[in-house]
């Protein structure tokens, strides 16, 4: 991918910036626009502006984009207030996530019967995490009850990191089956070490960044723009240092954001919008990744389209997601409407794209690997469309019902 090939992407970003609000009011999201544009304009099979997509470079770009999204979303969470709502994300992560992987694995064995079980496990693990970026339309909508928005935000921030060791194990097992290598026997201890390093590096770097920003701001050592750069650097630093240390970089980015939001002056963060640069950087890079996803993986989706793959994608977005959420909620006190809302809004996006690219980078492009990657990409593409179309109406439904309650409430004065 060279500089000249970025010209249509730059024009697309400019056009999207001009009309994004109008399109979103019609339930046309940025990911949908950029995936479609990438597939139509930039694929090397029929696109008028083909881009030679290198898997390794796109993988790195997608990882950094996901890290910035996780960090900026975490900064906005009030960690002190989170204690009141911690039970819901804990249920989703500790009960819902393992059950999702188990159901996804079973469905892959049933529907994708030609795949070795190692690749079926890879597909299930890669599609288990939800996406913070695709959830943003719901998470940022004040009509949706706060405890549901917090649950979705925290879940999407942590579940990709929790799924990473399973994905790595599945890739190692698949490499052995395909004759590409042998399993590294790190086991549970290695996975726990990776998670622990991610927590430690993210928490430590987030603490240092928040302390420096707070002290510098209070003493007038830096202006607001420089402090936004410092916040951005904290997110990037947590991710890159965790990567260098062998820790889970996504956990580091999210935990770094949580600690930053906790330690930094909350009023100051809100007034000066310190996370603005991280949010904008993450959003821009995410749109670029969606464009490259459309260019590189949508042709694969079309090439390997089958009833089995499409059926698995739809099953993954519905039964495989909703049933674990329902099973994790007994005793939570949530009404069925809220439980089903949480079950439906588990979009698959950047994390699954990262895992798909990692699969291609690690295992090559054999027939079995291509089917597995096409299944992941098909599920993500369906999620972009279905969750994008339903996010606004579902949030509006909450607003209408709340308005009906307010208007139907007996007056204290009458």
User: pLDDT tens across 212-241, in order?
Assistant: 988 888 888 888 788 889 889 999 999 999
Counting residues of the chain whose pLDDT is more than 70, the rounded percentage is: 86
Q: Reply yes or no on whether the pLDDT at 406 is more than 80.
A: no
Prediction pTM value:
0.82
User: What is the C-alpha to C-alpha distance for residues 154 and 158, in angstroms, rounded to an integer?
Assistant: 6
* Residue 227 domain flag: yes
Kindly list the distances between the CA atom of residue 252 and the CA atoms of 203, 274, 289, 291, 390, in Å, as whole numbers in the listed order. 7, 19, 21, 26, 31
> How many domains does one find in the chain?
1
What pLDDT, on a 0 to 100 scale, did the predictor assign at position 180? Answer: 74
Kindly list the distances between the CA atom of residue 184 and the CA atoms of 196, 341, 369, in Å, as whole numbers in the listed order. 19, 40, 20
Closest Cα partner for 76 from 266, 332, 350? 266
* Residue 44 domain flag: no
Kindly list the distances between the CA atom of residue 362 and the CA atoms of 136, 355, 358, in Å, as whole numbers in the listed order. 31, 10, 6
User: Which domain CATH number covers 285?
Assistant: 1.20.1530.20
* Residue 139 domain flag: yes
Mean pLDDT lowest among 40-49, 60-69, 333-342: 40-49
User: pLDDT tens across 251-260, in order?
Assistant: 888 889 888 9
User: pLDDT tens across 113-129, in order?
Assistant: 889 999 999 999 999 99
* Residue 5 domain flag: no
User: What is the C-alpha to C-alpha distance for residues 304 and 210, in angstroms, rounded to an integer?
Assistant: 48
* Residue 45 domain flag: no
User: pLDDT tens across 171-211, in order?
Assistant: 888 888 887 765 554 455 666 787 789 889 999 999 999 99
The number of beta carbons lying within 10 Å of the beta carbon of residue 212 is: 17
Tokens 């029929």: give the residue: 46
Kindly list the distances between the CA atom of residue 290 and the CA atoms of 181, 232, 261, in Å, as whole numbers in the listed order. 31, 22, 28
* Residue 37 domain flag: no
What pLDDT, on a 0 to 100 scale, did the predictor assign at position 124? Answer: 96
Query: Is the pLDDT higher at 398 or at 252?
Result: 252
* Residue 22 domain flag: no
Q: Reply yes or no on whether the pLDDT at 336 is more than 70.
A: yes
Q: What angle do CA 281, 285, 286 make, to 5 degrees?
A: 115
**Domain with 93 in it:** 54-397
User: Residue 81, exposed/middle/buried by CB under 10 A (0-12, 13-18, 19+)?
Assistant: exposed
* Residue 32 domain flag: no
The pLDDT confidence band at residue 399, using thresholds 50, 70 and 90, is low
Tokens for 178? 């395909």
What pLDDT, on a 0 to 100 scale, did the predictor assign at position 191? Answer: 63
Handedness of CA 321, 249, 283, 222 (dihedral sign): positive
Tokens for 257? 């954001």
């Amino acid at each position: 991918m060279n500089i000249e090939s970025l010209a249509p992407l730059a024009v697309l970003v400019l056009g999207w910036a001009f009309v994004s609000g109008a399109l979103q009011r019609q339930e046309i999201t940025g990911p949908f626009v950029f995936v479609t544009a990438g597939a139509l304009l930039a694929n090397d099979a029929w696109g008028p502006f083909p881009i030679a997509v290198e898997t390794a470079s796109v993988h790195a770009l997608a990882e950094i984009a996901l890290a910035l999204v996780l960090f900026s979303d975490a900064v906005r969470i009030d960690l002190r207030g989170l204690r009141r709502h911690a039970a819901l994300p804990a249920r989703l992560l500790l009960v819902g996530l393992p059950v999702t992987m188990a159901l996804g694995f079973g469905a892959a064995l049933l529907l994708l019967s030609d795949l070795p079980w190692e690749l079926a496990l890879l597909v299930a693990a890669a599609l288990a995490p939800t996406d913070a970026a695709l959830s943003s339309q719901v998470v940022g909508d004040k009509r949706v009850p706060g405890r549901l928005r917090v649950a979705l935000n925290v879940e999407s921030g942590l579940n990709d990191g929790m799924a990473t060791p399973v994905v790595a194990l599945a890739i190692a097992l698949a490499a052995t089956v395909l004759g590409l290598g042998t399993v590294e026997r790190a086991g549970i201890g290695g996975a726990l070490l990776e998670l622990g390093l991610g927590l430690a590096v993210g928490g430590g770097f987030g603490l240092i960044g928040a302390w420096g920003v707070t002290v510098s701001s209070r003493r007038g050592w830096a202006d607001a723009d420089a402090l936004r750069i410092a916040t951005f650097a904290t997110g990037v630093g947590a991710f890159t240092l965790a990567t260098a240390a062998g820790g889970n970089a996504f956990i580091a980015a999210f935990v770094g954001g949580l600690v930053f939001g906790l330690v930094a002056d909350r009023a100051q963060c809100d007034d000066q919008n310190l996370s603005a640069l991280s949010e904008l950087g993450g959003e821009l890079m995410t749109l670029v990744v969606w464009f490259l996803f459309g260019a590189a993986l949508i042709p694969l989706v079309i090439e390997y389209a089958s009833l089995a793959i499409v059926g698995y994608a739809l099953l993954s977005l519905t039964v495989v997601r909703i049933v674990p959420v329902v099973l994790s909620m007994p005793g939570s006190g949530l009404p069925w409407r809220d439980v089903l809302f949480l079950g439906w809004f588990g979009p698959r996006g950047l994390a699954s794209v990262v895992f798909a690219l990692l699969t291609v980078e690690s295992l090559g492009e054999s027939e079995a690997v291509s089917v597995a990657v096409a299944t992941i990409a098909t599920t993500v593409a369906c999620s972009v469309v279905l969750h994008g179309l339903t996010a606004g109406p579902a949030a509006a439904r909450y607003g209408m019902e709340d308005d009906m309650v307010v208007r139907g409430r007996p007056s204290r004065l009458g």
